[in-house]
């Protein structure tokens, strides 16, 4: 019933909005944390209450566990994550030389696992990949997002920009029309956030689980009755690349908590 109300409200909203949305000025960028209620903020603020920290503990164990034919651990190459991984999550997606395209943090972890540990990649949205990503991302908590100044990323970021501003699905609604033009407003009783990516992977109360930014992107596409992009697809990574550029300067909160 709740999803039906949101569908109807979104359809009404889409019909009344202009085709192009204005980008949020830098001084008005807000973490989605700022639009949450005090109870949800309190969960995120207390690591002993934040359910995402359970995945972090598993991620720390994976960081130190030897795996694959090489019988190497992440720590064997990178040492103490608290120093070697500090700031890393704030700089992804980054350009991958072997792939000749951007790669997000999850993709980089899997690439390292295949190349250096000679182990099969973790499944997208599986417990292991979420756990290791959360552990790595935690080391950047409080670090401002600083997308790489790599000109090779420019065409991919431009594609992500187009996807963010393109109307899609049966509702004919773009990401920008909700998250740029109408953030802070309510849709079927829920506050529309800016859709900033600085908390991922995060624990979503609706999911009762940790989830990646790609999971959230897919959920939004399903919400507007569009065909979601596959996990790991170039389109999802291009959207992530654009969203991190759009959020530049905001501080990493991973693992965040959201409603």
Q: Is the pLDDT of residue 200 over 70?
A: yes
For the whole model, what pTM was predicted? 0.91
Residue spans in the chain of domains classed CATH 1.10.760.10 = 2-46+146-258, 52-138
Confidence tier at 108 by pLDDT (50, 70, 90): very high
Mean pLDDT score, 218-235 = 97
CATH architecture, domain 2-46+146-258: Orthogonal Bundle (1.10)
Mean pLDDT score, 12-25 = 58
**Crossing angle of helices 213-223 and 234-246, rounded to 10°:** 100
What pLDDT digit, counting tens, does each position of 34-61 carry? 999 999 999 999 999 999 999 999 999 9
pLDDT of amino acid 104: 98
Share of the chain above pLDDT 70, in %: 92
CATH architecture, domain 52-138: Orthogonal Bundle (1.10)
Confidence tier at 2 by pLDDT (50, 70, 90): very low
Determine which one of 74, 175, 178, 220 is catalytic: 220
Mean pLDDT score, 79-108 = 98
Q: Is the pLDDT of residue 32 over 50?
A: yes
Q: Torsion over CA of 99, 256, 29 and 240, rounded to 10 degrees?
A: 20
pLDDT of amino acid 112: 97
Judge contact between 101 and 232, C-beta under 8 A. Answer: no
Share of the chain above pLDDT 90, in %: 88
Between 202 and 9, whose confidence is greater?
A: 202
pLDDT of amino acid 21: 58
Confidence tier at 26 by pLDDT (50, 70, 90): confident
Q: Is the pLDDT of residue 9 over 60?
A: no
pLDDT of amino acid 7: 46
Determine whether 74 is an active site residue: no
Confidence tier at 20 by pLDDT (50, 70, 90): low
Instruction: Quote the CA–CA distance of 129 and 121 in Å, as a whole number.
Output: 9
Query: And the tokens for 139?
Result: 């080391």
What pLDDT digit, counting tens, does each position of 132-151 carry? 999 999 999 999 999 999 99
Question: Minimal CA–CA distance to 53: which of 258, 259, 254, 216?
Answer: 254
């Amino acid at each position: 019933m709740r999803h039906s109300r949101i569908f109807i409200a979104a359809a009404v909203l889409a019909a009344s909005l202009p085709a192009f949305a204005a980008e949020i000025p830098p001084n008005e960028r807000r973490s989605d944390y700022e639009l949450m209620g005090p109870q949800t903020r309190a969960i995120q603020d207390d690591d002993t209450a934040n359910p995402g920290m359970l995945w972090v503990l598993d991620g720390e164990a994976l960081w130190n566990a030897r795996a694959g034919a090489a019988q190497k651990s992440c720590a064997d190459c990178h040492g103490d994550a608290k120093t070697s991984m500090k700031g890393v999550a704030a700089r992804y997606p980054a350009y991958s030389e072997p792939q000749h395209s951007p790669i997000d943090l999850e993709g980089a972890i899997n690439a390292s696992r295949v190349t250096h540990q000679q182990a099969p990649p973790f499944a997208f949205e599986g417990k292991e990949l979420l756990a290791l990503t959360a552990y790595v991302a935690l080391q950047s908590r409080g670090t401002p997002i600083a997308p790489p100044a790599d000109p090779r990323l420019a065409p991919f970021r431009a594609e992500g920009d187009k996807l963010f501003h393109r109307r899609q699905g049966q509702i004919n609604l773009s990401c920008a029309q909700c998250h740029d033009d109408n953030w802070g407003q309510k849709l079927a009783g829920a506050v529309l956030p800016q859709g900033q990516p600085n908390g991922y992977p995060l624990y979503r109360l609706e999911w009762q689980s940790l989830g990646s930014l790609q999971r959230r992107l897919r959920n939004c596409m399903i919400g507007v009755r569009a065909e979601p992009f596959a996990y790991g697809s170039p389109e999802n990574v291009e959207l992530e690349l654009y969203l991190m550029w759009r959020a530049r300067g905001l501080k990493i909160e991973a693992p965040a908590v959201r409603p």
